[in-house]
Structure 1
Protein backbone atom coordinates (compact mmCIF):
# COMPACT_ATOMS: atom_id res chain seq x y z
CA UNK A 1 0.00 0.00 0.00
CA UNK A 2 1.17 3.52 -0.69
CA UNK A 3 0.38 6.75 1.07
CA UNK A 4 0.13 10.19 -0.38
CA UNK A 5 3.57 11.73 -0.87
CA UNK A 6 5.06 14.02 -3.51
CA UNK A 7 6.06 12.21 -6.68
CA UNK A 8 9.80 11.87 -7.17
CA UNK A 9 12.05 11.43 -10.20
CA UNK A 10 15.13 9.29 -10.63
CA UNK A 11 18.31 10.48 -12.30
CA UNK A 12 18.96 7.27 -14.24
CA UNK A 13 18.73 7.58 -18.02
CA UNK A 14 19.08 5.23 -20.95
CA UNK A 15 21.12 6.45 -23.95
CA UNK A 16 19.06 8.46 -26.39
CA UNK A 17 19.76 11.06 -29.07
CA UNK A 18 18.59 14.66 -28.82
CA UNK A 19 16.44 14.17 -31.91
CA UNK A 20 14.60 11.23 -30.35
CA UNK A 21 14.10 13.23 -27.14
CA UNK A 22 12.53 16.07 -29.13
CA UNK A 23 10.28 13.58 -30.89
CA UNK A 24 9.14 12.11 -27.56
CA UNK A 25 8.15 15.57 -26.35
CA UNK A 26 6.04 16.32 -29.44
CA UNK A 27 2.27 15.75 -28.92
CA UNK A 28 0.94 12.96 -31.14
CA UNK A 29 -2.24 13.77 -33.11
CA UNK A 30 -4.86 11.01 -33.49
CA UNK A 31 -4.89 9.14 -36.79
CA UNK A 32 -8.24 8.90 -38.60
CA UNK A 33 -10.23 5.68 -38.25
CA UNK A 34 -12.02 4.92 -41.53
CA UNK A 35 -13.94 1.78 -40.59
CA UNK A 36 -15.29 1.64 -37.04
CA UNK A 37 -15.22 -1.85 -35.52
CA UNK A 38 -16.25 -0.92 -31.96
CA UNK A 39 -17.49 2.14 -30.11
CA UNK A 40 -17.42 2.67 -26.36
CA UNK A 41 -17.27 5.32 -23.65
CA UNK A 42 -14.52 5.37 -21.01
CA UNK A 43 -15.63 7.01 -17.74
CA UNK A 44 -13.93 7.99 -14.45
CA UNK A 45 -10.39 7.07 -15.43
CA UNK A 46 -7.60 7.09 -12.86
CA UNK A 47 -4.08 6.77 -14.31
CA UNK A 48 -1.10 5.80 -12.13
CA UNK A 49 2.34 5.60 -13.75
CA UNK A 50 5.75 4.52 -12.51
CA UNK A 51 9.15 4.53 -14.12
CA UNK A 52 10.20 1.00 -15.10
CA UNK A 53 13.42 -0.63 -16.25
CA UNK A 54 13.61 -0.26 -20.07
CA UNK A 55 15.16 -3.72 -20.39
CA UNK A 56 12.31 -5.29 -18.39
CA UNK A 57 9.81 -3.48 -20.62
CA UNK A 58 11.57 -4.55 -23.84
CA UNK A 59 11.36 -8.27 -23.02
CA UNK A 60 7.59 -7.98 -22.40
CA UNK A 61 6.68 -6.40 -25.74
CA UNK A 62 5.43 -8.39 -28.76
CA UNK A 63 7.80 -8.97 -31.71
CA UNK A 64 8.13 -5.91 -33.94
CA UNK A 65 7.83 -3.43 -31.05
CA UNK A 66 10.41 -1.56 -28.97
CA UNK A 67 9.88 0.47 -25.79
CA UNK A 68 8.67 4.00 -26.42
CA UNK A 69 10.82 6.11 -24.10
CA UNK A 70 10.38 9.57 -22.61
CA UNK A 71 13.72 11.27 -22.01
CA UNK A 72 15.31 7.84 -22.11
CA UNK A 73 12.92 6.39 -19.51
CA UNK A 74 10.29 3.66 -19.77
CA UNK A 75 7.00 3.67 -17.84
CA UNK A 76 4.40 1.18 -16.67
CA UNK A 77 0.81 2.25 -16.12
CA UNK A 78 -2.09 1.07 -13.99
CA UNK A 79 -5.43 2.40 -15.23
CA UNK A 80 -8.83 2.05 -13.51
CA UNK A 81 -12.03 3.01 -15.33
CA UNK A 82 -15.60 2.12 -16.25
CA UNK A 83 -16.50 1.18 -19.80
CA UNK A 84 -20.01 2.04 -21.00
CA UNK A 85 -22.05 1.98 -24.21
CA UNK A 86 -20.00 -0.75 -25.90
CA UNK A 87 -21.34 -1.09 -29.45
CA UNK A 88 -20.39 -2.94 -32.62
CA UNK A 89 -19.79 -0.66 -35.61
CA UNK A 90 -22.47 2.01 -35.84
CA UNK A 91 -25.06 -0.14 -34.05
CA UNK A 92 -26.76 0.63 -30.73
CA UNK A 93 -24.98 -0.01 -27.39
CA UNK A 94 -25.13 -3.63 -26.31
CA UNK A 95 -27.49 -4.20 -23.35
CA UNK A 96 -26.03 -5.40 -20.04
CA UNK A 97 -22.70 -6.71 -21.39
CA UNK A 98 -21.90 -3.28 -22.83
CA UNK A 99 -21.05 -1.76 -19.42
CA UNK A 100 -18.39 -3.00 -16.99
CA UNK A 101 -15.46 -1.96 -14.82
CA UNK A 102 -11.90 -2.53 -16.02
CA UNK A 103 -8.37 -2.31 -14.63
CA UNK A 104 -5.35 -2.70 -16.87
CA UNK A 105 -1.58 -2.83 -16.61
CA UNK A 106 0.04 -1.30 -19.65
CA UNK A 107 3.37 -0.53 -21.29
CA UNK A 108 4.27 1.87 -24.11
CA UNK A 109 5.52 0.72 -27.48
CA UNK A 110 6.64 1.87 -30.90
CA UNK A 111 6.69 -0.11 -34.14
CA UNK A 112 8.78 0.07 -37.33
CA UNK A 113 6.29 2.52 -38.87
CA UNK A 114 6.78 4.93 -35.95
CA UNK A 115 3.32 4.34 -34.49
CA UNK A 116 3.14 4.75 -30.74
CA UNK A 117 0.91 2.33 -28.92
CA UNK A 118 -0.07 0.60 -25.72
CA UNK A 119 0.78 -3.01 -24.87
CA UNK A 120 -1.50 -4.53 -22.27
CA UNK A 121 0.07 -6.93 -19.81
CA UNK A 122 -3.26 -7.63 -18.10
CA UNK A 123 -6.85 -6.44 -18.30
CA UNK A 124 -9.21 -7.21 -15.42
CA UNK A 125 -12.92 -7.07 -16.25
CA UNK A 126 -16.04 -7.90 -14.22
CA UNK A 127 -18.11 -9.20 -17.18
CA UNK A 128 -17.36 -12.73 -18.39
CA UNK A 129 -18.61 -12.48 -21.99
CA UNK A 130 -16.38 -9.50 -22.96
CA UNK A 131 -13.44 -11.37 -21.38
CA UNK A 132 -14.07 -14.47 -23.50
CA UNK A 133 -14.65 -12.42 -26.67
CA UNK A 134 -11.52 -10.29 -26.26
CA UNK A 135 -9.30 -13.25 -25.39
CA UNK A 136 -10.60 -15.50 -28.15
CA UNK A 137 -11.08 -12.92 -30.87
CA UNK A 138 -8.13 -10.57 -30.35
CA UNK A 139 -5.67 -12.35 -28.07
CA UNK A 140 -5.94 -9.67 -25.40
CA UNK A 141 -4.92 -10.81 -21.89
CA UNK A 142 -8.31 -10.26 -20.23
CA UNK A 143 -9.24 -12.07 -17.03
CA UNK A 144 -12.52 -12.27 -15.18
CA UNK A 145 -12.24 -10.43 -11.88
CA UNK A 146 -14.27 -8.78 -9.18
CA UNK A 147 -14.10 -4.98 -9.52
CA UNK A 148 -15.94 -2.31 -7.55
CA UNK A 149 -16.15 1.41 -8.26
CA UNK A 150 -17.55 3.68 -5.55
CA UNK A 151 -17.86 7.42 -5.13
CA UNK A 152 -17.83 8.81 -1.58
CA UNK A 153 -18.45 12.52 -2.07
CA UNK A 154 -15.35 13.75 -3.94
CA UNK A 155 -13.43 10.54 -3.25
CA UNK A 156 -13.31 7.69 -5.73
CA UNK A 157 -12.43 4.10 -4.79
CA UNK A 158 -11.65 1.29 -7.21
CA UNK A 159 -10.91 -2.25 -6.03
CA UNK A 160 -10.09 -5.33 -8.08
CA UNK A 161 -9.48 -8.94 -7.11
CA UNK A 162 -9.22 -12.05 -9.24
CA UNK A 163 -11.62 -14.92 -8.71
CA UNK A 164 -8.97 -17.38 -7.57
CA UNK A 165 -7.68 -17.24 -4.01
CA UNK A 166 -4.13 -16.52 -5.21
CA UNK A 167 -5.12 -14.06 -7.96
CA UNK A 168 -3.54 -10.58 -7.96
CA UNK A 169 -5.56 -7.57 -6.86
CA UNK A 170 -5.25 -3.91 -6.00
CA UNK A 171 -7.01 -0.64 -5.32
CA UNK A 172 -6.74 3.11 -5.73
CA UNK A 173 -8.39 5.64 -3.40
CA UNK A 174 -8.23 9.24 -4.60
CA UNK A 175 -9.77 12.64 -3.98
CA UNK A 176 -10.97 14.32 -7.18
CA UNK A 177 -11.12 18.10 -7.52
CA UNK A 178 -13.37 20.25 -9.69
CA UNK A 179 -10.64 22.31 -11.33
CA UNK A 180 -9.35 21.36 -14.77
CA UNK A 181 -5.56 20.95 -14.90
CA UNK A 182 -3.20 21.17 -17.84
CA UNK A 183 -1.25 17.95 -18.43
CA UNK A 184 2.53 18.16 -18.31
CA UNK A 185 4.79 16.82 -21.08
CA UNK A 186 5.14 13.42 -19.38
CA UNK A 187 1.35 13.17 -18.92
CA UNK A 188 0.83 13.94 -22.61
CA UNK A 189 3.37 11.31 -23.60
CA UNK A 190 1.68 8.66 -21.46
CA UNK A 191 -1.93 9.37 -22.45
CA UNK A 192 -1.73 10.55 -26.08
CA UNK A 193 -1.97 7.02 -27.44
CA UNK A 194 -4.06 6.20 -30.48
CA UNK A 195 -3.71 2.45 -30.76
CA UNK A 196 -2.44 -0.76 -29.22
CA UNK A 197 0.03 -3.46 -30.20
CA UNK A 198 -0.82 -7.09 -29.52
CA UNK A 199 0.19 -10.57 -30.66
CA UNK A 200 -2.49 -12.66 -32.35
CA UNK A 201 -3.02 -15.00 -35.28
CA UNK A 202 0.76 -15.60 -35.37
CA UNK A 203 1.51 -11.91 -36.05
CA UNK A 204 1.87 -8.70 -34.13
CA UNK A 205 -0.90 -6.28 -35.05
CA UNK A 206 -1.71 -2.62 -34.49
CA UNK A 207 -5.27 -1.71 -33.52
CA UNK A 208 -6.04 2.00 -33.98
CA UNK A 209 -8.47 4.07 -31.95
CA UNK A 210 -9.53 7.69 -31.85
CA UNK A 211 -11.10 9.88 -29.18
CA UNK A 212 -11.18 13.55 -28.18
CA UNK A 213 -8.19 14.88 -26.28
CA UNK A 214 -8.34 14.28 -22.57
CA UNK A 215 -9.69 16.73 -20.03
CA UNK A 216 -7.94 16.18 -16.71
CA UNK A 217 -9.00 17.24 -13.22
CA UNK A 218 -7.00 17.42 -10.03
CA UNK A 219 -6.42 13.96 -8.55
CA UNK A 220 -4.83 13.50 -5.12
CA UNK A 221 -4.08 9.82 -4.38
CA UNK A 222 -4.83 8.91 -0.78
CA UNK A 223 -3.75 5.26 -0.95
CA UNK A 224 -3.08 2.57 -3.48
CA UNK A 225 -2.07 -1.07 -3.64
CA UNK A 226 -0.60 -2.17 -6.94
CA UNK A 227 2.32 -4.48 -6.13
CA UNK A 228 0.62 -7.80 -6.92
CA UNK A 229 -0.91 -6.53 -10.18
CA UNK A 230 2.42 -5.25 -11.46
CA UNK A 231 4.36 -8.28 -10.24
CA UNK A 232 1.90 -10.64 -11.95
CA UNK A 233 2.46 -8.64 -15.15
CA UNK A 234 6.23 -9.19 -14.90
CA UNK A 235 7.05 -5.68 -13.70
CA UNK A 236 8.74 -4.12 -10.71
CA UNK A 237 8.51 -0.29 -10.51
CA UNK A 238 11.72 1.53 -9.69
CA UNK A 239 10.11 3.12 -6.60
CA UNK A 240 6.87 3.07 -4.64
CA UNK A 241 5.64 6.58 -5.43
CA UNK A 242 3.94 7.12 -8.83
CA UNK A 243 5.54 9.61 -11.22
CA UNK A 244 2.20 10.66 -12.70
CA UNK A 245 -1.34 10.55 -11.26
CA UNK A 246 -4.27 11.73 -13.38
CA UNK A 247 -8.07 11.66 -13.38
CA UNK A 248 -10.23 12.12 -16.50
CA UNK A 249 -14.06 12.27 -16.46
CA UNK A 250 -14.25 10.36 -19.72
CA UNK A 251 -14.18 10.27 -23.52
CA UNK A 252 -16.06 8.49 -26.33
CA UNK A 253 -13.78 6.09 -28.20
CA UNK A 254 -13.89 4.46 -31.62
CA UNK A 255 -11.73 1.47 -32.60
CA UNK A 256 -10.79 0.77 -36.20
CA UNK A 257 -9.74 -2.49 -37.84
CA UNK A 258 -6.53 -4.21 -36.61
CA UNK A 259 -3.75 -4.54 -39.18
CA UNK A 260 -0.61 -6.72 -38.99
CA UNK A 261 2.77 -5.09 -38.66
CA UNK A 262 4.95 -5.33 -41.77
CA UNK A 263 7.35 -8.29 -41.86
CA UNK A 264 10.63 -7.68 -40.05
CA UNK A 265 12.94 -5.53 -42.10
CA UNK A 266 10.17 -3.79 -44.06
CA UNK A 267 9.25 -0.22 -43.12
CA UNK A 268 6.23 0.28 -45.41
Structure 2
Protein backbone atom coordinates (compact mmCIF):
# COMPACT_ATOMS: atom_id res chain seq x y z
CA UNK A 1 0.00 0.00 0.00
CA UNK A 2 1.37 3.41 -0.98
CA UNK A 3 -0.03 6.57 0.67
CA UNK A 4 1.20 10.16 0.73
CA UNK A 5 0.03 11.75 3.96
CA UNK A 6 -2.09 14.88 3.94
CA UNK A 7 -0.70 18.14 5.34
CA UNK A 8 -2.35 19.79 8.34
CA UNK A 9 -4.13 23.01 7.38
CA UNK A 10 -4.27 25.01 10.61
CA UNK A 11 -5.95 28.12 9.14
CA UNK A 12 -8.39 26.96 6.46
CA UNK A 13 -10.13 29.50 4.25
CA UNK A 14 -12.74 26.98 3.14
CA UNK A 15 -14.38 23.76 4.33
CA UNK A 16 -15.85 21.35 1.76
CA UNK A 17 -16.98 17.73 1.41
CA UNK A 18 -16.37 15.99 -1.90
CA UNK A 19 -18.78 13.05 -2.18
CA UNK A 20 -20.05 10.50 -4.75
CA UNK A 21 -16.83 11.01 -6.70
CA UNK A 22 -15.32 9.21 -9.68
CA UNK A 23 -11.75 9.45 -10.99
CA UNK A 24 -11.59 8.85 -14.77
CA UNK A 25 -7.98 8.98 -16.01
CA UNK A 26 -6.30 8.87 -19.42
CA UNK A 27 -2.61 8.66 -20.32
CA UNK A 28 -1.06 11.37 -22.51
CA UNK A 29 2.38 12.20 -23.91
CA UNK A 30 3.98 14.63 -21.43
CA UNK A 31 4.62 17.28 -24.10
CA UNK A 32 0.92 17.35 -25.01
CA UNK A 33 0.01 18.31 -21.44
CA UNK A 34 3.03 20.53 -20.74
CA UNK A 35 1.98 23.06 -23.37
CA UNK A 36 -1.17 23.80 -21.31
CA UNK A 37 0.71 24.60 -18.10
CA UNK A 38 1.84 28.00 -16.84
CA UNK A 39 5.48 28.92 -16.40
CA UNK A 40 6.84 27.49 -13.17
CA UNK A 41 5.03 24.14 -13.39
CA UNK A 42 6.26 20.91 -14.95
CA UNK A 43 3.99 18.01 -15.81
CA UNK A 44 4.61 15.04 -13.52
CA UNK A 45 4.72 11.59 -15.10
CA UNK A 46 4.21 8.00 -14.06
CA UNK A 47 5.94 5.35 -16.20
CA UNK A 48 6.86 8.15 -18.63
CA UNK A 49 3.23 9.18 -19.21
CA UNK A 50 1.27 12.22 -18.10
CA UNK A 51 -2.25 11.67 -16.80
CA UNK A 52 -5.36 13.79 -17.22
CA UNK A 53 -8.36 13.19 -14.99
CA UNK A 54 -12.05 13.86 -15.49
CA UNK A 55 -13.45 13.98 -11.95
CA UNK A 56 -17.21 14.42 -11.41
CA UNK A 57 -18.59 14.60 -7.88
CA UNK A 58 -21.01 16.29 -5.50
CA UNK A 59 -19.77 19.28 -3.53
CA UNK A 60 -21.35 19.55 -0.07
CA UNK A 61 -20.93 21.61 3.09
CA UNK A 62 -19.14 24.44 1.29
CA UNK A 63 -18.48 27.25 3.77
CA UNK A 64 -15.79 29.58 5.11
CA UNK A 65 -14.61 29.02 8.71
CA UNK A 66 -17.11 29.94 11.46
CA UNK A 67 -19.92 30.36 8.91
CA UNK A 68 -22.80 27.85 8.72
CA UNK A 69 -23.39 26.10 5.42
CA UNK A 70 -26.38 27.43 3.48
CA UNK A 71 -28.32 24.52 1.93
CA UNK A 72 -28.71 25.85 -1.63
CA UNK A 73 -25.32 27.56 -1.93
CA UNK A 74 -23.29 24.88 -0.18
CA UNK A 75 -24.39 21.82 -2.18
CA UNK A 76 -23.96 21.43 -5.95
CA UNK A 77 -22.40 19.14 -8.58
CA UNK A 78 -18.91 19.78 -9.90
CA UNK A 79 -16.73 18.22 -12.60
CA UNK A 80 -13.00 18.92 -12.89
CA UNK A 81 -10.48 18.34 -15.66
CA UNK A 82 -7.09 18.15 -13.98
CA UNK A 83 -3.50 17.03 -14.39
CA UNK A 84 -0.51 16.41 -12.11
CA UNK A 85 2.44 18.76 -11.76
CA UNK A 86 5.48 19.84 -9.76
CA UNK A 87 6.61 23.40 -9.10
CA UNK A 88 10.15 24.76 -9.08
CA UNK A 89 10.58 23.62 -5.47
CA UNK A 90 9.65 20.03 -6.39
CA UNK A 91 6.27 20.09 -4.64
CA UNK A 92 3.57 17.86 -6.15
CA UNK A 93 0.06 19.06 -6.81
CA UNK A 94 -2.87 19.60 -9.14
CA UNK A 95 -3.36 21.94 -12.06
CA UNK A 96 -6.99 22.41 -13.07
CA UNK A 97 -7.63 22.80 -16.79
CA UNK A 98 -11.33 23.47 -16.11
CA UNK A 99 -13.89 23.21 -13.32
CA UNK A 100 -17.63 23.05 -14.04
CA UNK A 101 -20.05 23.78 -11.20
CA UNK A 102 -23.82 23.90 -10.94
CA UNK A 103 -24.13 27.13 -8.90
CA UNK A 104 -23.45 30.48 -10.57
CA UNK A 105 -22.62 32.32 -7.29
CA UNK A 106 -20.01 29.65 -6.50
CA UNK A 107 -18.53 30.00 -10.00
CA UNK A 108 -18.28 33.78 -9.73
CA UNK A 109 -16.76 33.60 -6.23
CA UNK A 110 -14.18 30.98 -7.26
CA UNK A 111 -13.19 32.92 -10.37
CA UNK A 112 -12.79 36.16 -8.40
CA UNK A 113 -11.36 34.80 -5.15
CA UNK A 114 -9.35 31.76 -6.26
CA UNK A 115 -8.58 32.68 -9.89
CA UNK A 116 -9.57 29.19 -11.02
CA UNK A 117 -11.09 28.44 -14.47
CA UNK A 118 -14.63 27.72 -13.30
CA UNK A 119 -17.60 27.39 -15.66
CA UNK A 120 -21.30 27.56 -14.86
CA UNK A 121 -23.05 24.41 -16.07
CA UNK A 122 -26.40 22.66 -15.92
CA UNK A 123 -25.51 19.64 -13.80
CA UNK A 124 -26.90 16.71 -11.81
CA UNK A 125 -25.52 13.90 -9.66
CA UNK A 126 -27.69 10.91 -8.78
CA UNK A 127 -26.62 8.20 -6.34
CA UNK A 128 -28.44 4.93 -6.93
CA UNK A 129 -27.87 1.40 -5.69
CA UNK A 130 -24.32 0.65 -6.80
CA UNK A 131 -24.33 3.44 -9.39
CA UNK A 132 -23.29 7.08 -9.75
CA UNK A 133 -24.95 9.09 -12.56
CA UNK A 134 -23.46 12.43 -13.63
CA UNK A 135 -24.81 14.98 -16.10
CA UNK A 136 -23.09 18.22 -17.14
CA UNK A 137 -23.83 20.72 -19.91
CA UNK A 138 -21.75 23.92 -19.89
CA UNK A 139 -23.60 27.27 -19.92
CA UNK A 140 -21.04 30.04 -19.35
CA UNK A 141 -18.51 31.33 -20.27
CA UNK A 142 -17.48 30.28 -23.73
CA UNK A 143 -19.49 29.66 -26.89
CA UNK A 144 -19.29 25.86 -26.85
CA UNK A 145 -21.77 23.92 -24.69
CA UNK A 146 -19.29 21.23 -23.61
CA UNK A 147 -20.82 18.09 -22.12
CA UNK A 148 -19.75 15.59 -19.45
CA UNK A 149 -22.18 12.68 -18.90
CA UNK A 150 -21.22 9.44 -17.16
CA UNK A 151 -22.86 6.42 -15.53
CA UNK A 152 -20.45 4.65 -13.19
CA UNK A 153 -20.98 1.18 -11.73
CA UNK A 154 -19.38 0.74 -8.32
CA UNK A 155 -17.26 -2.31 -7.58
CA UNK A 156 -15.45 -3.73 -4.57
CA UNK A 157 -13.23 -1.60 -2.33
CA UNK A 158 -9.55 -1.59 -3.23
CA UNK A 159 -7.43 -3.83 -1.04
CA UNK A 160 -4.26 -2.39 0.55
CA UNK A 161 -2.23 -4.26 -2.08
CA UNK A 162 -4.25 -2.66 -4.88
CA UNK A 163 -3.49 0.84 -3.61
CA UNK A 164 -0.24 0.80 -5.53
CA UNK A 165 2.12 3.56 -6.67
CA UNK A 166 -0.03 4.51 -9.66
CA UNK A 167 -3.18 4.80 -7.55
CA UNK A 168 -1.24 6.96 -5.08
CA UNK A 169 0.11 9.11 -7.93
CA UNK A 170 -3.41 9.78 -9.21
CA UNK A 171 -5.30 10.29 -5.96
CA UNK A 172 -2.92 11.31 -3.13
CA UNK A 173 -2.81 14.99 -4.08
CA UNK A 174 -2.91 17.59 -1.33
CA UNK A 175 -1.92 20.80 -3.10
CA UNK A 176 -3.44 22.85 -5.91
CA UNK A 177 -1.84 25.56 -8.01
CA UNK A 178 -3.19 28.69 -9.63
CA UNK A 179 -1.93 31.93 -11.16
CA UNK A 180 -3.03 35.02 -9.22
CA UNK A 181 -2.24 38.47 -10.66
CA UNK A 182 0.43 36.90 -12.88
CA UNK A 183 2.10 34.99 -10.05
CA UNK A 184 2.12 31.26 -9.49
CA UNK A 185 0.63 30.32 -6.10
CA UNK A 186 -0.35 27.15 -4.28
CA UNK A 187 -2.75 26.11 -1.53
CA UNK A 188 -2.64 22.99 0.61
CA UNK A 189 -5.66 20.72 1.05
CA UNK A 190 -6.13 18.53 4.11
CA UNK A 191 -8.27 15.40 3.94
CA UNK A 192 -8.08 11.73 4.96
CA UNK A 193 -7.07 9.07 2.43
CA UNK A 194 -9.68 8.39 -0.22
CA UNK A 195 -11.86 5.31 0.45
CA UNK A 196 -11.45 3.95 -3.08
CA UNK A 197 -13.50 1.37 -4.97
CA UNK A 198 -13.09 -0.31 -8.31
CA UNK A 199 -15.51 1.14 -10.86
CA UNK A 200 -16.69 0.57 -14.42
CA UNK A 201 -18.10 3.04 -16.94
CA UNK A 202 -21.51 2.01 -18.18
CA UNK A 203 -21.80 5.20 -20.21
CA UNK A 204 -19.48 8.11 -21.00
CA UNK A 205 -20.20 11.00 -23.32
CA UNK A 206 -17.91 13.93 -22.75
CA UNK A 207 -15.99 16.62 -24.57
CA UNK A 208 -14.81 18.57 -21.52
CA UNK A 209 -11.27 17.20 -22.00
CA UNK A 210 -11.26 18.34 -25.63
CA UNK A 211 -12.64 21.74 -24.61
CA UNK A 212 -9.69 22.05 -22.20
CA UNK A 213 -7.32 21.83 -25.19
CA UNK A 214 -6.46 18.14 -25.35
CA UNK A 215 -7.01 15.60 -28.12
CA UNK A 216 -8.71 12.27 -27.48
CA UNK A 217 -6.35 9.93 -25.68
CA UNK A 218 -7.21 6.93 -27.84
CA UNK A 219 -6.95 4.62 -24.81
CA UNK A 220 -9.45 3.15 -22.38
CA UNK A 221 -9.57 5.13 -19.14
CA UNK A 222 -8.63 3.94 -15.68
CA UNK A 223 -11.62 4.35 -13.32
CA UNK A 224 -11.93 4.51 -9.53
CA UNK A 225 -14.81 5.74 -7.36
CA UNK A 226 -15.12 7.01 -3.80
CA UNK A 227 -17.86 7.86 -1.32
CA UNK A 228 -15.79 10.97 -0.60
CA UNK A 229 -13.84 12.91 2.01
CA UNK A 230 -14.14 16.10 4.08
CA UNK A 231 -11.54 18.76 3.25
CA UNK A 232 -9.92 21.88 4.70
CA UNK A 233 -8.40 24.23 2.12
CA UNK A 234 -5.60 26.64 3.04
CA UNK A 235 -4.80 30.09 1.76
CA UNK A 236 -2.83 30.85 -1.40
CA UNK A 237 0.93 31.04 -0.93
CA UNK A 238 3.71 31.91 -3.39
CA UNK A 239 6.39 29.31 -4.14
CA UNK A 240 9.84 29.68 -2.61
CA UNK A 241 11.33 29.69 -6.10
CA UNK A 242 10.17 32.79 -7.98
CA UNK A 243 8.80 32.20 -11.47
CA UNK A 244 6.61 34.23 -13.79
CA UNK A 245 3.07 32.91 -13.93
CA UNK A 246 1.84 33.66 -17.43
CA UNK A 247 -0.29 31.16 -19.28
CA UNK A 248 0.75 29.84 -22.65
The TM-score, its normalising length taken from structure 2, stands at 0.90
Partner of 2:149: 171
CA distance in 1, matches of 2:83, 2:216: 12
Partner of 2:190: 210
Larger Rg: 1
**Aligned pair 1:181/2:181, yes or no?**
no
**Aligned pair 1:125/2:125, yes or no?**
no
Quote the offset at 1:26 in angstroms.
6.4
Partner of 1:99: 75
For structure 2, which runs of at least 5 residues remain unmatched after alignment?
none
Quote the offset at 1:264 in angstroms.
3.4
Quote the offset at 1:176 in angstroms.
1.3
CA distance in 1, matches of 2:64, 2:20: 22
Q: Deviations over 1:33-79 (max 9, x none)?
A: 12111011110001100001211211111221100111221000000
Q: CA RMSD in A?
A: 1.8
- The secondary structure found in structure 2 opposite 1:260 is coil
- The secondary structure found in structure 2 opposite 1:186 is helix
Partner of 1:192: 172
The TM-score, its normalising length taken from structure 1, stands at 0.84
Partner of 2:211: 232
For structure 1, which runs of at least 5 residues remain unmatched after alignment?
1-24
**Aligned pair 1:71/2:47, yes or no?**
yes
The answer on whether the counterparts of 2:20 and 2:127 sit within 8 Å (CA) in structure 1 is no
Quote the offset at 1:203 in angstroms.
0.3
Select the residue among 93, 118, 133 that pairs with 1:142.
118
Partner of 2:232: 254
CA distance in 1, matches of 2:6, 2:131: 31
Quote the offset at 1:91 in angstroms.
3.0
The answer on whether the counterparts of 1:52 and 1:236 sit within 8 Å (CA) in structure 2 is no
Q: Deviations over 1:68-122 (max 9, x none)?
A: 1112210000000001001102432234211110001001110122211111111
Q: Deviations over 1:2-30 (max 9, x none)?
A: xxxxxxxxxxxxxxxxxxxxxxx964222
Moved over 6 A (4+): none
Question: Aligned in 2, Cα 1:181/1:73: closer, same or farther, shift over 3 Å?
Answer: same
CA distance in 1, matches of 2:67, 2:89: 32
Structure 1 range deviating more: 77-86 or 30-39: 30-39
Partner of 1:29: 5
CA distance in 1, matches of 2:136, 2:217: 23
Question: Aligned in 2, Cα 1:31/1:161: closer, same or farther, shift over 3 Å?
Answer: same
The answer on whether the counterparts of 1:52 and 1:237 sit within 8 Å (CA) in structure 2 is no
